[in-house]
Structure 1
Amino acid sequence: MEFNHADLFEGLADAIGERTAVVVFDSAGGTQRRTYAELDADANRLAHHLRDAGVTAGRHVGIQLYNGLEYVTALLAALKIRAVPVNVNYRYVEAELEYLYDDADLVALVYDAEFEDRVTTAAARVPALRHRVVVGGTSPHAIAYPDALAGSPAARGFGKRSGEDVYIIYTGGTTGMPKGVMWRSADLFMAFGGGNPYGDPRETPEAVIEAAQDSGPLVMMPAAPLMHGAAQMATFIGWWMGATIVYTRRFDAAEVLRTIENEKVFTINITGDAMARPLADALAADSYDLSSLAVLSSTGAILSGAVRDRLQELLPNVAILDNFGSSESGFTASGVDGSSPESGMRYRPNNARLRVLDDALQEVRPGSGVLGQVAKSGHIAFGYYNDPKKTAKTFVEVEGERWLLTGDIATVEADGTIAVFGRGSQCINTGGEKVFPEEIEAVLKRHPAVFDALVTGIPDERFGSRVAAVVQPYDQAPTTDELDAHCRGVLSGYKVPRTYAFVDEMRRSPAGKADYRWAKQIAEQAAART
């Protein structure tokens, strides 16, 4: 056995096969359950089907599904035959799907019947995508999922795997097209907890299995969609601990809370304000027995101080953790007490391989006030699929060691904590002053009439760029004067938005990631009307 995700899951299926691995709660109130052994058998069947369809080691299999048993089955099936699973955003339209299918070199696709029309249109333009499996329906272009499983054996019979096997996470860009982050399996395992997120990584794969055997009953819930890397990694982290993983098909705050109550969930993973705020609203509106819940952790998107404080008030006995990481770096740091975009985001590195490097790629001295980029070495991704230019820009060598430049602008405080100001690609330069959108967004979301906000820069004749805000109100939109006064009470004048655009619904990914390209277009349209 190696530090390979398929090897490790098969070890768990042999050791704790009778334990429940997955529970899926649907909006109709029903649940589906699979033990580790049952899930392993289903994944074996689909793996044999894919292999018989010509999917060989190293080829890419797309997964375009909502959360469910079929998603984790397809994920494991691809890994079992050393194929590469590729997450596909289920919100993508035809042109975006065509881009991703082609960029990822997909040869097979497992998809939800709900997406039949757009899949058919996009796939017709990507001849390499020659095999499809449809879930929840039928198609003249695909084999139905139950038929794919029924025609294949439940036994394994696969070849030897390696810690070098590739795993790709496509991450939706906030300013550009999605990109495939490439990992070696062993590095991915170590970067996301090493089988023991609360201590030193496990020394051997066998130790992972032994620890899972010895663990007590534990129920964990990734609330984000599995098409987001954070939810996939939360799933594996839970499995390595011998846990039962619980999903809802799609994110609905009240449904998530009912599921926590019904399944006695111990930990839940969310992605920032886009999930935290609806959860807080649902908690305030109704009563739930959440006595089993001990930990709520957020990663992948910003958790603002106002929303965190409200959640903590509603969940006084729950530890709320704000984690820092990315699809390229894995888990890297935890927020210190009082950290927020409004007061300053500060993180304590979880290992010695996290640094802030200046423009000359030299380490920033603690307390110097010099700005640089957060960088990580060690267990990191090794590049972007089909993008050598971006790979060379992001993964650099410093004194013989390979480093990932995350793009997060930061400095190192005197006590060694890392103060993160925001993503460099989103920084607004207005009249020579640097403005980081995350700070202004957090301030805007403190206004009682604001449900969500995105801040971007738009062209300005005098200052080069001006700060603009796209705002989704709760019910009645506040006036621009009200928002201006609210912001000026806590922000320097150059940070205060000069243009506002009000929308009925904010455009974010299903995992809560901001769409800054869209926000910029909306803000520019609002500016043109004034």
Structure 2
Amino acid sequence: MVWQGDNFGIALKALARAIEPDRPALVQGGRIVGWSQLDSLTDRIAAGLTARGLKPGDVAGQMLRNTPDYILAYFGCIKAGVTPVNVNYHYKDRELADIFSRFGLKALFVESDFANSAGAAMPDGALTIDVGSTGWADLQSSVAPPDFAPHDHKQALFFTATGGTTGMPKAVMWPFEAAWQAFGISVWQRGMGEPPLVATSLEEQAAEAAKIGPDHPASTSPLLLLSPLMHGAGQFSAVIHLLKGGTLAMLPSEKFDADLTIDEVKRLGARNLFMVGDAFALPLADALDARDDAVDAMKSLRMVTSSGAVFSESNKMRLIKHNPQLMVFDALGSSESSGTAIVITTAAGSSGGGKFQALPGRSTKLFDADLNEIKPGEDGIGIVARSGPLPLGYLGEDEKNAKTFPEIDGQRYLMTGDQARWGADGTMEFIGRDNMCINTGGEKVFPEEVEAVLQEHAGVKDVRIVSLPDPRFGRKVVAVVQPDGDADGLQEALDTAAREGLAGYKIPRTYFFTDTSLRLNNGKPDYKAAQAIANEG
């Protein structure tokens, strides 16, 4: 039987046995957790959870910021056979009580400043572990029995909670083996033009991880993770990197700080940054432009990877300006799909002319609303769908699962909700999210497409496209703009840019200017705030 991947807990232990014990696995400021320590601590946490009555299949949440404790709790759960799930620490009591009940939480790892509200929302009899308390220290001091072995079922699950952009958050059920394949964990990239190595056993995966240490030319470590671990994009990136034996670094700060990021890249010699589009790239580019040491600070970086939000071409180039050897990977993905398509940008330009291209190794197609395929070369906007390794679906959401994971011609697909059309060259041009589409006079307008045009103007810090009622067309397109400096003359300049780059029905009919952030705390676009500004006039 062909090896397709493994349980993440079993894999972590195999890698830890192969890797030199003191190789850093987790770094945050002065705190360093080596690979041997990562393995032993997660063994102890697993043993402690078992001793406290948790059983394989029970669900435990991580309501934690980006710290080593998040990773320790995550892999400790997995080694015990407990299903981990990310919990958004911005949620309030009502939201927490809802997801704790629907996800069936039996335990929760939580930061001290969230502990009271989280504890009150937890089901009766559930275990709450404050990572700032002696209870967390006691758990890490648990004694693992001599015959301890991590839970080893490849079809065991981890949950990834969605961000709730299409309703209340849902738990995506990922079997480890399917996730291993979807994430490409066994794939080791070689030099330009060379085929990648694909590990065919856990032993080969561990040997490759041991060989490619931090000083190896092919290493992408340290990876400085900026995206929150409480979201799928950050969580997936962290897991992939660690299951390749990498070093995962996190900012020694509760919130993103652009100057601190630059300082940490320089201090660590980071080779990779993971972020969420323009929400991170724009302030990072601004900070780099203002510093005299920008080129020196960025010289270690080989790549910047982004997923989960729009990443404008102009901001990619602003980062590359400070390191012309930099490669920027802009991935189209979700909690349900991992990656679906990608654009790679270098100083020479972007792959596919800046259009997303389907990732290899999976069947990516476009379907219309009736699930008829739109083939390359055919006109029309469709929903991006892919087959290949997929999650089981959403926990307890039979109706949603039938719509999101339909079977078409005997093949199970994920309907991502992303809208795209085929370019003449066979590349996929991403348009926007189906649920954000504006219908104006029967024409569909995708906010992201209009935003991308307006965002290119130097006077725009951020922009959201929403709509307002219109007596003739039903809805009219409206731009809510956060200017970068003086807004004098900006509306006229943006109108000109829109008319040059967009069809007439996509042009904003009204502009509103605001100093309010148009982003959520996780860096994703805040359309509710923008709509409220437009509604108030």
Query: What TM-score results when the alignment is normalised by the length of structure 1?
Result: 0.90
Q: Is 1:45–1:154's contact at 8 Å kept on the other side of the alignment?
A: no
1:279 and 2:284 correspond: yes
Look up the match of 1:500: 511
1:400 and 2:410 correspond: yes
2:400 to 387, 390, 399: 390
Q: For each residue in 1:405-453, what CA deviation from the matched residue of structure 2 results, as whole angstroms up to 9, or x when unmatched?
A: 1111122334332222111111111112211111221222223232112
Counterparts of 2:248 and 2:257, CA distance in 1: 17
- Cα pair distance change 1:507/1:157, threshold 3 Å: farther
Counterparts of 1:468 and 1:147, CA distance in 2: 55
Q: For each residue in 1:459-480, what CA deviation from the matched residue of structure 2 results, as whole angstroms up to 9, or x when unmatched?
A: 3232111112232233444554
Look up the match of 1:229: 232
Q: For each residue in 1:125-153, what CA deviation from the matched residue of structure 2 results, as whole angstroms up to 9, or x when unmatched?
A: x336x1111122x4xxxx63113223444
Deviates more, 1:286-295 or 1:192-201: 192-201
Letter in 1 for 2:406: V
Counterparts of 1:46 and 1:159, CA distance in 2: 11
- Cα pair distance change 1:334/1:449, threshold 3 Å: same
Q: For each residue in 1:325-367, what CA deviation from the matched residue of structure 2 results, as whole angstroms up to 9, or x when unmatched?
A: 22111222221666699x8733243234111223343332221
C-alpha deviation, 1:157, in angstroms: 1.1
1:161 and 2:172 correspond: no
Q: Is 2:62–2:85's contact at 8 Å kept on the other side of the alignment?
A: yes
Partner secondary structure for residue 39 of structure 2: helix
Q: For each residue in 1:214-257, what CA deviation from the matched residue of structure 2 results, as whole angstroms up to 9, or x when unmatched?
A: 21323122221111212222122222322211111432111111
1:321 and 2:332 correspond: no
C-alpha deviation, 1:18, in angstroms: 1.1
Counterparts of 1:336 and 1:266, CA distance in 2: 16
Counterparts of 1:520 and 1:412, CA distance in 2: 31
Q: Is 2:20–2:210's contact at 8 Å kept on the other side of the alignment?
A: no
Counterparts of 1:303 and 1:155, CA distance in 2: 50
Q: Is 1:270–1:298's contact at 8 Å kept on the other side of the alignment?
A: yes
2:200 to 185, 194, 203: 203
Counterparts of 2:204 and 2:390, CA distance in 1: 22
Counterparts of 1:111 and 1:238, CA distance in 2: 24
C-alpha deviation, 1:321, in angstroms: 1.7
C-alpha deviation, 1:290, in angstroms: 2.1
Look up the match of 2:193: none
Q: Is 1:453–1:470's contact at 8 Å kept on the other side of the alignment?
A: yes
Query: What TM-score results when the alignment is normalised by the length of structure 2?
Result: 0.89
- Cα pair distance change 1:154/1:285, threshold 3 Å: farther
Counterparts of 1:16 and 1:437, CA distance in 2: 47
1:238 and 2:241 correspond: yes
Letter in 1 for 2:7: N
C-alpha deviation, 1:185, in angstroms: 0.6
1:253 and 2:252 correspond: no
1:307 to 315, 321, 324: 315
Deviates more, 1:166-175 or 1:191-200: 191-200
Look up the match of 2:267: 262
Cα RMSD (Å): 2.4
Partner secondary structure for residue 413 of structure 2: strand
Partner secondary structure for residue 468 of structure 1: strand
Letter in 2 for 1:182: M
Counterparts of 1:443 and 1:156, CA distance in 2: 60
Q: Is 1:21–1:34's contact at 8 Å kept on the other side of the alignment?
A: yes
C-alpha deviation, 1:270, in angstroms: 1.4
2:468 to 453, 458, 462: 458
1:501-516 mapped onto 2 (5 Å cutoff): 501-516=512-527
Counterparts of 1:270 and 1:42, CA distance in 2: 28
Partner secondary structure for residue 3 of structure 1: coil
Q: Is 1:6–1:79's contact at 8 Å kept on the other side of the alignment?
A: yes
- Cα pair distance change 1:89/1:346, threshold 3 Å: same
| Matched pairs, number | 513
Q: Is 1:367–1:414's contact at 8 Å kept on the other side of the alignment?
A: yes
Q: Is 2:60–2:107's contact at 8 Å kept on the other side of the alignment?
A: yes
Q: Percent identity?
A: 36
Q: Is 2:327–2:344's contact at 8 Å kept on the other side of the alignment?
A: no
Counterparts of 2:427 and 2:452, CA distance in 1: 21
Letter in 2 for 1:225: P
Look up the match of 1:189: 180
Letter in 2 for 1:519: A
- Cα pair distance change 1:348/1:238, threshold 3 Å: same
Q: Is 1:22–1:69's contact at 8 Å kept on the other side of the alignment?
A: no
- Cα pair distance change 1:277/1:86, threshold 3 Å: same
Q: Is 1:372–1:409's contact at 8 Å kept on the other side of the alignment?
A: yes
- Cα pair distance change 1:456/1:345, threshold 3 Å: farther
Counterparts of 2:401 and 2:188, CA distance in 1: 28
C-alpha deviation, 1:154, in angstroms: 8.2
1:96-135 mapped onto 2 (5 Å cutoff): 96-123=95-122, 126-127=123-124, 130-135=126-131
C-alpha deviation, 1:162, in angstroms: 1.5
- Cα pair distance change 1:145/1:160, threshold 3 Å: closer
Letter in 2 for 1:204: S
Q: Is 1:280–1:314's contact at 8 Å kept on the other side of the alignment?
A: no
Q: Is 1:196–1:241's contact at 8 Å kept on the other side of the alignment?
A: no
Counterparts of 2:329 and 2:183, CA distance in 1: 16
- Cα pair distance change 1:437/1:339, threshold 3 Å: farther
Counterparts of 2:121 and 2:226, CA distance in 1: 29
Q: For each residue in 1:277-302, what CA deviation from the matched residue of structure 2 results, as whole angstroms up to 9, or x when unmatched?
A: 11101111112422211111211211
Look up the match of 1:361: 371
C-alpha deviation, 1:116, in angstroms: 2.8
Counterparts of 1:314 and 1:160, CA distance in 2: 46
Counterparts of 1:507 and 1:52, CA distance in 2: 46
Look up the match of 2:210: 213
- Cα pair distance change 1:240/1:466, threshold 3 Å: same
Letter in 2 for 1:329: S
Counterparts of 1:292 and 1:358, CA distance in 2: 45
1:431 and 2:431 correspond: no
Partner secondary structure for residue 314 of structure 1: coil
1:524 and 2:535 correspond: yes
Partner secondary structure for residue 308 of structure 2: coil
Partner secondary structure for residue 144 of structure 1: helix
Partner secondary structure for residue 74 of structure 2: helix
C-alpha deviation, 1:156, in angstroms: 6.9
Deviates more, 1:182-191 or 1:449-458: 449-458
1:5-84 mapped onto 2 (5 Å cutoff): 5-25=8-28, 30-84=29-83
